[in-house]
Amino acid sequence: MSDARFSSFAEFFPYYLGEHRDPRCRALHFVGTAGFFSMIGWAAWLEPARFGPALAGILALGVIGNVVERRRNAAPVMFAMIALGVWAQPWLLAGVVWAYAFAWIAHFKIEHNKPATFIYPLWSLLGDFKMWSMMVSGKLWTGDPIQELELSVSAPDA
């Protein structure tokens, strides 16, 4: 297996979208991410005193994870981010399970590919959030996202 990796999220994102060419896959991701965001809102409402510090820690870990993701899989950082969220409000774990269930069903049953989260966990999460925000604004609901955004997909740098 190659040790080649993308050197930035900007380079990774077209690859990420290329793994989500079927509109049904993106729609399932949208539903999963919307459920996750709902759980974040609920967690903030249920545990406001814990939510603020946990969110600050998650954001700090995200910055660290971005650096790690350039060199290797940032799964340990991602697990720490999830643990902080669950510390703030255990129900957040349901949001994580909800989101991944929809995403993985979409990949294994519709796209027939392996989710990018297995290799780039943090950038895949960011990619999902970016794709979701584009869908909220009316983009990416039909057709090929690479063509719609006029992107080109490249392999990671060796």
Q: For 5-57, how does the pLDDT look when each residue is reduced to its tens digit (9 = 90+)?
A: 999 999 999 999 999 999 999 999 999 999 999 999 999 999 999 999 999 99
Residue 1 has a pLDDT of: 45
Question: Could you give the percent of the chain with pLDDT greater than 90?
Answer: 92
* pLDDT for 128 beyond 80: yes
Residue 86 has a pLDDT of: 94
Mean pLDDT on 115-121 = 94
Q: Cβ atoms within 10 A of the Cβ of 35, count?
A: 18
Residue 155 has a pLDDT of: 79
Among 149, 153, 143, CA closest to 27 = 143
Mean pLDDT on 101-109 = 97
Please state the three-class secondary structure of the chain as a single string.
CCCCECCCHHHHHHHHHHCCCCHHHHHHHHHHHHHHHHHHHHHHHHCHHHHHHHHHHHHHHHHHHHHHHHHCCCHHHHHHHHHHHHHHCCCHHHHHHHHHHHHHHHHHHHHCCCCHHHCCHHHHHHHHHHHHHHHHCCCCCCCCHHHHCCCCCCCCEC
Q: What is the mean pLDDT of the chain?
A: 94
Q: How far apart are CA 99 and CA 103, in angstroms?
A: 6
The answer to whether residues 77 and 64 touch, using CB atoms and an 8 Å cutoff, is yes
Mean pLDDT on 84-88 = 94
What are the structural domain ranges in the chain? 16-138
Q: How far apart are CA 93 and CA 85, in angstroms?
A: 8
Which pTM was predicted?
0.92
